[in-house]
Structure 1
């Protein structure tokens, strides 16, 4: 289906109006979008994330000698570490909503969010974190397929 000239003109006009926030306050608010939960942030220098990735990559490479290169194992390990980080964030939010899971040493108790606004906010955050969990799972699975079968689709 081809886009009509009229539709293309309307799309261009809409694009000209959709340029993001104009006010200083709006720009400041929009600049915080990526900092909501920190999962998309680059890790700080000095964190042990790189060491954890290298260790897991070596373990994967040793489990499958000759079948997987260290570079491919590193891709899988990075995705797995991201996945475990996102899952930990989801567990923390669930703990805030429902109390700690059995066997969890979380200091948060049931109903630690005393107001409904806090619970609504935690549910919203949980939905965003779950999106990161799904993306990390897909990236890990794609990396595994790429390493084992030579294709990532």
Structure 2
């Protein structure tokens, strides 16, 4: 064997390095959202994550048992972590533009029910898709070094300087 192909032995990373990488990952997820955007929508995010958790429990636990429960917990945690990114992706997208332009007919209470059901289904979809869409949007934000936020045109009279 020639000298060009010498074997190099590398020690595996320690547990401390893995914890540090995981901490850096969570910090990066937080850092690519503007602080005021990160603090908004906490109640929606929590309620939607709970609904998605119940959905995953019904979907995964009967066929897989405890392993299905673990899958449900992991997917719910990912939904919770990446919810803001998925919501950012929804803002101004095809689904929002379609639903905003939708004309509804019916009685007053029928319209109220349809609107409430629409919002529940939209937030459920945002949370359900968050592990995939949110992750890809976060990767794009990291790649382009962007901090994401939602522009809110409403004036906040309590917070003006």
Normalised TM-score (structure 2): 0.30
- Where is the helix percentage greater, Structure 1 or Structure 2? 2
Normalised TM-score (structure 1): 0.31
